[in-house]
C-alpha cells in the first residue's frame, strides 16, 4: 500500500506587498488622527459644533458623489492611477483647510477633497489587498491589514497631544497638526507609487455604474450596520476632542491609545474567528461594544476614565470593520470588487453624513451626554434589526467547502494522477445546502 502523500503548504498571504500596505496604512490613519481637532479649529474660527458637523457632512456628501464614480475607475483602469489621484486629493484638501483658515468656500472645498481622498485611499488599499489573496481568506487579510490602523491611531493621537502640549490655542497649533497630516500623506503617496510600480490592469468586462450594481447585488442589512458605524465614528472622531475640552481635560490621547491597543489585540486574536463563529454573530456582538462604549462616555470626569469606553468601542471596531467590508463585497463578482468596496465604505460615510449635523445640534442645544445616549440608542435599534434579519442565516465562511481542497504532492517517482471529476464549486453544491449567490463562479465564497 502506498504511503500517504505530503500536502503542499498553502503560500503565505503575508508577503512584502502586505507589509508595505501595512506601513502605508499606519501613516494614513496617524495622519487622519491628527485632524481629530477639526471641530476645535472651527470653534477657533468662530463656528459652532453644529457648523462643524455641517462642514463634515457637506465634505462627506461631496466625497460620496465622487466615490460613486471612483469605483468604476478602479474596475476600468486598475488601482494604481486611482490610488495615486486620491492620495493627492487628500494632501491638497488638508492644505486648503489650513492655509486659508476661514469658514468659507475653501474650508468646504478642502473638507470635500480631504474626505474624498481619505475614503478613496482606504478603498484602494482594501481593493488592492483583497486581490492578492484567496477569496476565503479575504476577511482575514482585511482584519490583519486593518490592525495597522490602530497602531496609526495610537501614534497619531499621542503625537497630537504632544503638539497640544507645546503650542498655544492659536493657528500655530492647527498648522502644525494639519501640516504633519499632509506630510504623512506625501510619504503615503510615495509608498503607493512604489508598491504598485509593476501593476498591470486589463479590463475585459463591461463597465456598469455603481447604483445599478448596488441594486443588483444588494448585500442586505449589513449596509444598515455600516451606517451605524458611521454614526459611532462621528461621535468620537469629530466631537470627542471638544467633549474633553469641555471637561477641562488635557486631550484625547488616552482614549485613542486605549482604543488602538484594545482594537489591535482583539483584531489579531480574532482574525480567523469568522470561519468558526460566523460574521453575523461577530457583528451583533460588536454593536453591543459600541453601545456600551458610547454610554460609558457619559460618566467620564478624569482622563484615565476614557480607558473603559475606549476599550468597548475599540473592541467593536476590531470586529465590525472586516466583517462589514467582507460581507458587503461578497455578493459582487470579482471584476467589480473596486466598486463593491467603494460602495460599502460609502455606507459608513452616509451614516456620518446623516448623523454629524444632528449630533452637533444636540450638543449645542442639550449637551454631550444626550448626544452619546442618542447615538447609542440608534445603534441598539440597528443591532436588533440585524439580529432578527440574520438569525437563521449561515455564513458561507463557516462551511467546510468554503476552503479549497488541499494540494497533494505526487510521490517520487512522479506518476500521473487522475484529476478529480468534480470542481470545488461543484462539490460545494453537493456538500452544503446553501445556494450559490450570484457572482463570479470562480469566487469560492459564493455559496450563500
| 263-318 confidence digits (pLDDT tens) | 889 988 887 777 778 888 999 999 999 999 999 999 999 999 999 999 999 999 98
The 3-state DSSP composition of the chain as helix, strand, coil percent (nearest 5) reads 75, 0, 25
Q: For residue 329, what pLDDT is reported?
A: 83
Q: For residue 203, what pLDDT is reported?
A: 56
Residue carrying the nine cell digits 493627492: 88
- The answer to whether 113 and 86 are in contact (CB under 8 A) is no
Between residues 408 and 170, the one the model is more confident about = 170
Read off the C-alpha cell for 251: 486631550
Read off the C-alpha cell for 154: 495610537
Q: What mean pLDDT is reported for the chain?
A: 80
> Which of 14-23, 258-267, 347-356, 398-407 is predicted least confidently?
398-407
Q: For residue 428, what pLDDT is reported?
A: 39
pLDDT for residue 74 is more than 80 = no
pLDDT for residue 392 is more than 50 = yes
Q: What is the mean pLDDT of residues 4-23?
A: 74
pLDDT tens figures, 319-330 = 998 889 888 888
Q: DSSP state, 413?
A: S
Buried b (16+ CB within 10 A) or exposed e, 69-93: ebbbbbbeebbbbbbebbbebbbbb
CA–CA separation, 12 and 416 (whole Å)? 28
pLDDT for residue 81 is more than 50 = yes
> DSSP string spanning 247-283?
TT-S-SHHHHHHHHHHHHHHHHHTTTTHHHH-HHHHH
CB neighbours of 92 closer than 8 A, spacing ≥ 6? 110, 113, 117
Q: DSSP state, 401?
A: G
Q: For residue 414, what pLDDT is reported?
A: 44
Read off the C-alpha cell for 120: 478613496
> Which of 68-82, 216-230, 252-266, 308-322 is predicted least confidently?
68-82
> Which of 33-42, 278-287, 437-446 is predicted least confidently?
437-446
Radius of gyration of the chain (CA): 23
CB neighbours of 203 closer than 8 A, spacing ≥ 6? 75, 76, 77, 335
Q: DSSP state, 408?
A: B
78 in helix, strand or coil? coil
CA–CA separation, 445 and 394 (whole Å)? 12
- Residue closest to 245 by CA, chosen among 17, 95, 44, 445: 44
Phi, psi angles (nearest 5°) of residue 181: -60, -45
Report CA-CA distances (Å) from 191 to 27, 206, 305, 395: 10, 31, 38, 36
220 in helix, strand or coil? coil
Q: What is the mean pLDDT of residues 127-135?
A: 77
- The answer to whether 441 and 401 are in contact (CB under 8 A) is no
- Residue closest to 256 by CA, chosen among 203, 217, 314, 209: 314
CA–CA separation, 111 and 366 (whole Å)? 27
> What does the domain layout of the chain look like in residue ranges?
16-198+209-393
Q: For residue 167, what pLDDT is reported?
A: 82
pLDDT tens figures, 143-194 = 888 888 888 988 888 898 888 888 877 788 889 999 999 999 999 999 999 9
Q: How many residues does the chain have?
A: 448
- The answer to whether 266 and 314 are in contact (CB under 8 A) is yes
For residue 237, what pLDDT band results from cuts at 50, 70 and 90? confident
Q: For residue 441, what pLDDT is reported?
A: 35
Q: What is the mean pLDDT of residues 430-436?
A: 41
Q: What is the mean pLDDT of residues 125-141?
A: 78
Instruction: List, in sequence order, every residue forming a beta bridge with 114; answer none if it has no partner.
Output: none
For Cα atoms 18, 24, 28, give the angle at the middle one, nearest 5 degrees.
140
For residue 366, what pLDDT band results from cuts at 50, 70 and 90? very high
Q: For residue 1, what pLDDT is reported?
A: 46
Looking at domain 16-198+209-393, which CATH architecture does it have? Up-down Bundle (1.20)
- The answer to whether 193 and 84 are in contact (CB under 8 A) is yes
For residue 438, what pLDDT band results from cuts at 50, 70 and 90? very low
pLDDT tens figures, 331-345 = 888 777 777 877 888
Q: For residue 201, what pLDDT is reported?
A: 58
Amino acid at each position: 500500500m502506498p504511503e500517504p502523500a505530503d500536502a503542499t503548504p498553502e503560500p503565505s498571504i503575508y508577503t512584502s506587498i502586505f507589509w508595505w500596505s501595512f506601513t502605508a496604512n499606519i501613516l494614513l490613519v496617524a495622519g487622519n488622527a491628527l485632524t481629530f481637532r477639526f471641530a476645535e479649529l472651527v470653534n477657533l474660527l468662530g463656528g459652532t459644533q453644529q457648523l462643524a458637523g455641517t462642514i463634515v457632512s457637506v465634505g462627506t456628501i461631496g466625497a460620496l458623489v465622487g466615490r460613486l464614480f471612483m469605483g468604476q475607475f478602479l474596475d476600468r483602469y486598475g488601482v494604481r492611477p486611482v490610488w495615486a489621484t486620491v492620495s493627492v486629493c487628500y494632501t491638497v484638501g488638508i492644505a486648503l483647510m489650513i492655509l486659508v483658515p476661514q469658514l468659507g468656500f475653501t474650508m468646504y472645498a478642502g473638507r470635500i477633497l480631504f474626505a474624498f481622498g481619505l475614503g478613496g485611499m482606504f478603498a484602494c488599499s482594501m481593493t488592492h489587498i483583497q486581490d492578492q489573496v484567496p477569496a476565503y481568506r479575504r476577511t482575514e487579510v482585511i482584519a490583519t491589514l486593518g490592525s495597522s490602523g490602530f497602531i496609526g491611531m495610537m501614534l497619531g493621537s499621542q503625537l497630537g497631544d504632544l503638539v497640544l502640549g507645546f503650542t498655544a490655542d492659536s493657528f500655530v497649533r492647527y498648522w502644525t497638526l494639519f501640516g504633519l497630516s499632509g506630510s504623512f500623506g506625501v510619504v503615503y503617496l510615495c509608498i503607493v507609487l512604489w508598491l504598485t510600480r509593476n501593476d498591470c490592469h486589463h479590463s475585459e468586462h463591461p463597465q456598469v455604474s455603481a447604483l445599478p450594481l448596488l441594486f443588483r447585488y444588494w448585500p442586505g442589512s449589513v449596509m444598515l450596520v455600516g451606517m451605524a458605524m458611521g454614526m459611532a465614528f462621528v461621535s468620537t472622531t469629530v466631537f470627542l476632542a471638544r467633549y474633553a475640552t469641555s471637561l477641562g481635560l488635557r486631550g484625547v490621547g488616552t482614549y485613542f491609545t486605549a482604543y488602538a491597543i484594545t482594537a489591535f489585540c482583539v483584531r489579531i486574536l480574532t482574525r480567523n474567528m469568522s470561519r468558526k463563529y460566523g460574521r453575523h454573530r461577530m457583528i451583533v456582538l460588536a454593536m453591543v461594544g459600541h453601545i456600551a462604549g458610547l454610554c460609558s462616555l457619559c460618566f467620564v470626569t478624569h482622563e484615565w476614565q476614557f480607558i473603559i469606553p475606549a476599550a468597548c468601542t475599540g473592541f467593536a471596531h476590531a470586529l465590525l470593520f472586516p466583517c462589514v467590508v467582507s460581507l458587503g463585497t461578497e455578493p459582487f463578482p470579482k471584476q467589480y470588487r473596486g466598486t463593491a468596496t467603494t460602495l460599502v465604505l460609502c455606507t459608513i460615510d452616509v451614516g456620518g453624513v446623516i448623523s454629524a449635523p444632528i449630533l452637533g445640534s444636540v450638543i449645542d442645544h442639550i449637551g454631550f451626554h444626550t448626544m452619546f445616549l442618542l447615538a447609542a440608542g440608534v445603534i441598539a435599534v440597528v443591532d436588533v434589526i440585524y439580529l432578527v434579519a440574520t438569525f437563521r442565516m449561515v455564513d458561507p465562511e463557516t462551511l467546510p467547502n468554503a476552503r479549497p481542497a488541499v494540494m497533494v504532492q505526487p510521490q517520487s517517482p512522479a506518476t500521473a494522477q487522475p484529476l478529480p471529476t468534480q470542481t470545488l464549486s461543484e462539490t460545494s453544491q453537493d456538500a452544503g445546502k446553501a445556494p450559490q449567490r450570484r457572482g463570479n463562479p470562480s469566487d469560492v465564497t459564493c455559496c450563500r
